[in-house]
Amino acid sequence: MRAPLLSRLWSILKPVLSTLASIAITLLGLLFVTFIIGRIMPIDPVLSIVGERASKETYDAVYLQMGLDKPLLMQFLYYLWDVIHLDFGTSLLTSRPVADDIARVFPATLELATIGIIFGIVLGVPLGVLAAVNKGKWIDQIARVIALVGYSMPIFWLGLIGLLIFYGILGWVGGPGRVGIFYVDVVPSVTGLILVDALLDGNWDVFKSAFSHIVLPASLLGYYSLAYISRMTRSFMLEQLSAEYVTTARVKGMSEWDVVWKHAFKNIRVQLITVIALSYAGLLEGSVLTEIIFSWPGIGSYITTALLSADMNAVMGGTVVVGLIFILLNIFSDLLYKIFDPRAK
């Protein structure tokens, strides 16, 4: 009786422990890579703090304080200990803990990328399905052109053109920034997501201003993800629509709607999860140019500014957070696999 119980308990714990071990190894590798990059960069971290005019005594004191006199392995262990305690050091630009800076700027990127990926999913998935069902027809050609333009056009160029037309000429959207200058810090920051905070505060003026500012950059990011999602959806659907079970369903007289959505599309959901998760992660860490063009105070512009200013604490802290996002999204994808595909359990 005891042996079967232990065997069943082990069968439940084994995949959990395996997942946790995989996460730990991946995160450890990420931290090691960021640590090595921080050490091989042609930037003296001590000079970044004390300045070039500091005396040798000051330089040596800071050098010892930072532990740079210790062996490289010991330095990495110290770095690992600090990261575990969410201590990424102090930013040279803001003179604040990097963890506090990241907590302040990340919600802006999260809000922008989330609206963008929703835009990409809502339009990209149906567009890809329609293109596959109407292969070779005008709908398919239009969908392929839309995807091609999304892949080919530099996002910074689209951003500049969008600002010129929709903000500068037509005045349909707000300009750079998250909100109009008159509404800055009007609503208390509860979640860091300005649209949500405005709703929680019941301030519709701030909500309208924030929405008018986010709609253009989010649409551009959404268009970028739409191009990828629609193309992959079309490819997955074409493979399923050519399968024998689809032909059998049509011969049996099943409606085209049921064939497409209840059979073919059902079998590509797991593949789409991966595509959407990777696309979302790409928007969270790859929206640097969009944030710079639209003066969006997110983590992308934060890391870029820190890199240009040789603020390596901020760069390494931001890089670790971005890597952690990829890891968490992969875990989330695995959980969704088990929900949509029982065979993955």
- Read off the CATH number of the domain in which 253 is found: 1.10.3720.10
Cβ count near 264 (within 10 Å): 24
In a domain, 131, yes or no: yes
E runs forming strands in 147-211: none
Same domain for 5 and 151: no
pTM as predicted: 0.83
Residues 197 and 178 in one domain: yes
Taking the C-alpha atoms of residue 222 and residue 211, their distance in angstroms, rounded to an integer, is: 15
pLDDT by residue, tens only, the chain of 345 residues = 455 656 666 666 666 677 777 777 888 888 888 888 777 766 667 766 666 677 777 777 877 777 777 777 888 888 888 888 888 888 878 888 888 999 899 999 999 999 999 999 999 999 999 998 888 888 888 888 888 888 778 888 888 888 888 888 888 888 888 888 888 888 888 888 889 889 988 889 889 999 999 999 999 888 888 988 999 999 999 888 888 887 888 888 788 888 888 888 888 888 888 888 888 888 887 677 788 888 888 888 888 888 887 788 888 888 888 888 888 887 777 777 777 665 555
In a domain, 97, yes or no: no
pLDDT tens digit sequence for 235-284 = 999 888 888 887 888 888 788 888 888 888 888 888 888 888 888 888 88
Tell me: do 209 and 64 sit in the same domain.
no
> Is residue 92 in a domain?
no
Q: Is residue 93 part of a domain?
A: no
Same domain, 68 and 126: no
Same domain, residue pair 261 and 234? yes
Count: domains in the chain: 3
Instruction: Decide: helix, strand or coil at residue 282.
Output: helix
| 120 shares its domain with 21 | no
- 311 belongs to a structural domain: yes
Same domain, 33 and 49: no
Number of helices (H), then strands (E), belonging to the chain: the values are: 15, 0
Interaxial angle between packed helices 155-162 and 204-241, expressed in degrees from 0 to 180 and rounded to the nearest 10: 140
Structural domain that includes position 62: 45-85
Is 284 contained in some domain? yes
